[in-house]
Amino acid sequence: MHKSAAIILARYDSARLPGKVLKTIAGKKLLEWCTAPILNNGHFEVIIATSDRSTDDPIAEFAASAGINCFRGQTDDVAGRILSCAKKYGIDYFARVNGDSPFVNKNLLMKGFGAIENSDCDFVTNLVPRNFPYGVSVEIFRTKVYEKVYNQLKSAEHKEHVSLFFYENINTFNPFFIQYEDGNDHSIRLVVDSPEDVVLMEKLLTGLKGKTQDLKEIIKAYKQLTK
């Protein structure tokens, strides 16, 4: 029986907005917005992967309080951390998810896992071309393929940006592309990177009243707030 997981990458000391993943926005911590919609989905596990520094203890505490498995590993080698996490939990297919994204989409992840589990593709992405809103990403890898790639990585940049090597060498892989059906909305930013993002997400999440999985509703509300 194959195992799949969404691995949430999170760190506490963001340079532009320290502590952002545990910042309260519209009544919930950012990591809660990120993880709650995909918990107990009946198909894939959810694991938070952070560093083993004491700085990231609050993230481990959040995971424990939410009943989410937490893996702690390398600080700078994020690619090594995500691979070690997948191997520790016996994961065959994993989605890389960023902890600063409040609109992680369960249906898109399910579509991606279905694609990789029922084909011979090496990885699944919705970032080629980049038409989905920024922050609504799907990247799912076969752990065995990822491990082979990791053993080739030399640069610090590749070890920090865990999927960069795949895109730079995409012609050497067998990717599956999830296409966006509504033109190009990549200029829409659905992430939290700055104090300004916090203000906007507060308004957006409050106004959506729980409709955080309806991408069309999210985009409509975003455009109304930013016009």
Backbone angles phi, psi at 210, to 5 degrees: 95, -10
Residue pointed to by tokens 């297919």: 93
| 120: Cβ contacts below 8 Å, ≥ 6 apart | 174
For residue 210, the model assigns a pLDDT of 87
Beta-bridge mates of residue 141? 94, 123
Helix or strand holding residue 69 (H, E): strand 69-73
CB-CB contact of 133 with 188 (8 Å) = yes
For residue 3, the model assigns a pLDDT of 96
**Across the 227 residues of the chain, what is the mean pLDDT of every consecutive 10-residue run?**
95 88 97 96 97 97 98 95 98 97 97 97 97 97 98 95 97 98 95 95 95 95 95
We find that the CATH architecture of domain 4-226 is Alpha-Beta Complex (3.90)
CA angle 103, 107, 113 (to 5 degrees): 115
Largest CA distance in the chain: 49
Q: Quote the DSSP letter at residue 56.
A: G
For residue 16, the model assigns a pLDDT of 81
For residue 112, the model assigns a pLDDT of 98
Distance between the two ends of the chain, CA-based, in angstroms? 49
Q: Which two tokens stand for residue 102?
A: 């409040």
For residue 14, the model assigns a pLDDT of 82
41 burial level (CB within 10 Å; 0-12, 13-18, 19+)? middle
Residue pointed to by tokens 């409709």: 211
* Domain spans, the chain: 4-226
Helix-then-strand count for the chain, H and E: 9, 9
Q: How far is CA 173 from CA 6, 165, 167, in A?
A: 22, 11, 9
3-state helix, strand, coil in the chain (%, to 5): 40, 20, 40
